[in-house]
Each structure stands twice: as C-alpha cells, then as structure tokens.
Amino acid sequence: MFIATNRLFVPAERAEEFEAHFRDNMRTYLPGVPGLLRSTLLKPTREDQPYVSINEFESEEDFRAWVASDSFREAHQRNRGIARHVTGNAVETFEHAEDLVLPRQRTA
C-alpha cells in the first residue's frame, strides 16, 4: 500500500466552505481512480491544526498514474476555489508498515 497525505492549513472562518468544496471534489473526481482504495479528509480539533487529506493506493505506481491523469489535473484546476481557503500545505508520502485492527469492544 502507498499513502499520500496533504496537510492543509485553513483559517477557521473559511472551514465550512473549504469542507464543502473539498468534499464535492472528492465525490466528483475520485470514484473510479485505478488503485485508489480509500480517501479521507480529517478535520482538525484545534484552530492551530491543519486538515489532513489521506489517499491510500494499492501501489506507488497507481498514485503516480493518478497524479499524471487528466482527472487529477481537472480536479486540481477546479481546486483553485479551494486554494483561496488554504494558507499553507505539505504533501507527504508513505509506504504501509503495519496495521492493527481491533474488534469493537463492548463497554457495558
């Protein structure tokens, strides 16, 4: 598995519009991307934290093919609407090292 993250710093007063635009882009451009297993947008719990976009791919090759695709270019060209909300960002990539998935624990 290959994982790409993007930390997106968004002022609190622009958060709602940012989320709506980002969510729409995810739902419009990501379904059907070859090798894409999951896409997640994490919302910060404090104003000094960034949003984090996480895209999990079957392989780095699938990720690179997506970045080189017309769909990626179209989505990111449309992202100019999102860009006005972002005051900084940082893209990071990772290879999968380990997962621990636990069964849901009953609390009563």
DSSP per-residue string spanning 79-98: THHHHTT-SEEEEEEEE---
Percent of the chain past pLDDT 70, that is, above it, reads 92
Whether the CA torsion 75, 88, 35, 99 is positive or negative: it is negative
Strands 36-42 and 88-95: unpaired
Domain count, the chain: 1
Q: Does residue 63 lie within any of the structural domains?
A: yes
pLDDT at 59: 96
Q: Does residue 22 lie within any of the structural domains?
A: yes
Under 8 Å between Cβ of 47 and 14: no
Residue-range definition of the domain harbouring residue 22: 2-95
Query: Span 35-51, mean pLDDT?
Result: 94
Task: Take residue 61 and report the two structure tokens written for it.
Answer: 């090759």
Q: What is the pTM of this model?
A: 0.83
Task: Take residue 25 and report the two structure tokens written for it.
Answer: 């882009």
Give the pLDDT confidence of 59-103 residue by residue, as tens digits: 999 999 999 998 888 877 766 666 666 777 788 899 989 988 888
Q: Does residue 104 lie within any of the structural domains?
A: no
Q: Does residue 100 lie within any of the structural domains?
A: no
Task: Return the CATH number at 86.
Answer: 3.30.70.100
Average pLDDT, the chain: 88
